[in-house]
Amino acid sequence: MEQHGSGQELTQAEVASWTAGWDEIQERLGPRFARSEQRQRVRHYVDGLLSPVERKNGWQLAEHAGEARPYGMQRLLAGAKGDADAVRDELRAYVLEHLGDPRAVLVIDETGFVKQGTKSVGVKRQYSGTAGRIGNCQIGVLLTYAAPEGHVLIDRELSLPREWADDAERRQEAGVPEAVTFATKPELARRMLERAIAAGVPAASRDGRQHLRGRPTAARLARTAGAPLCPGGQA
């Protein structure tokens, strides 16, 4: 069995180990969702995201899961009782069990999610590095764990523009919690660094990417959050 495009042979044992690992993750995440139907659909949903399905919308993901209509997937995303932050913490713990290394680096970066409409939380016309232009999109600030054995996303914050934060009607319609207020991207980055430090994430330094240019650098954010820096790190 050959991995497409890589020329590397995959064995049945390797595929079996991937399946077992995915089963383990599902078992760990399951308690974070209230109903067994939701837990099963979460698996189908993530399977779809990892699949070659070209468009990852409700219809396509539902069809990939063998469902005739998208309503179940839509309910999962819009109304399922689950704890997204608890899922984040569980995944971070899983990553550290397998990749945790004091030589690792915490990397802060942003990415754009191109959108067509105006209803997605935080969407507006703004610059997206992903698209390389100004367009209708959401912006997420991400924290990834770059270790010798792999590079994995461990935290995220969605940037909520001020015009969204100050629009009570729009917030209510989109379901934005009252506790979520406007914050700059460096502020969102600092929150994630503080969470990682509080969780005891082993890392040698913190590295800030494009969205911190002209603003507080990753080094300053790391110092104010109580994080160590690599020798030679500059503020």
| Token digits of residue 128 | 């997206």
Q: d(Cα 146, Cα 169) in Å, to the nearest integer?
A: 40
Residue percentage of the chain with pLDDT more than 90:
49
142 near 111, Cβ under 8 Å? Answer: yes
Which DSSP helix (H) or strand (E) runs through 96?
helix 84-99
pTM assigned to the model: 0.76
How far the first Cα of the chain sits from its last, in Å, is: 50
Reduced to 3 states (helix: H, G, I; strand: E, B; else coil), residue 101 is coil
Q: What is the identity of the amino acid at 30?
A: G
Dihedral angle over CA of 117, 122, 128, 130, nearest 10: -80
Instruction: Name the residue among 75, 74, 94 with its Cα closest to residue 29.
Output: 94
Dihedral angle over CA of 217, 185, 189, 182, nearest 10: 140
Q: Reply yes or no on whether the pLDDT at 118 is more than 80.
A: yes
Q: d(Cα 51, Cα 54) in Å, to the nearest integer?
A: 8
For 50-63, how does the pLDDT look when each residue is reduced to its tens digit (9 = 90+)? 888 888 888 999 99
Report CA Rg, the chain: 19
Per-residue pLDDT band for 225 (boundaries 50, 70, 90) equals low
Q: d(Cα 94, Cα 81) in Å, to the nearest integer?
A: 22
Q: d(Cα 194, Cα 56) in Å, to the nearest integer?
A: 32
Which DSSP helix (H) or strand (E) runs through 128?
strand 124-128
What confidence score (pLDDT) does residue 106 get?
Answer: 94
Per-residue pLDDT band for 32 (boundaries 50, 70, 90) equals confident
Q: d(Cα 55, Cα 49) in Å, to the nearest integer?
A: 9
**Over residues 112-141, mean pLDDT:** 92
Count of other CB atoms within 10 angstroms of residue 180: 15
Q: d(Cα 55, Cα 59) in Å, to the nearest integer?
A: 9
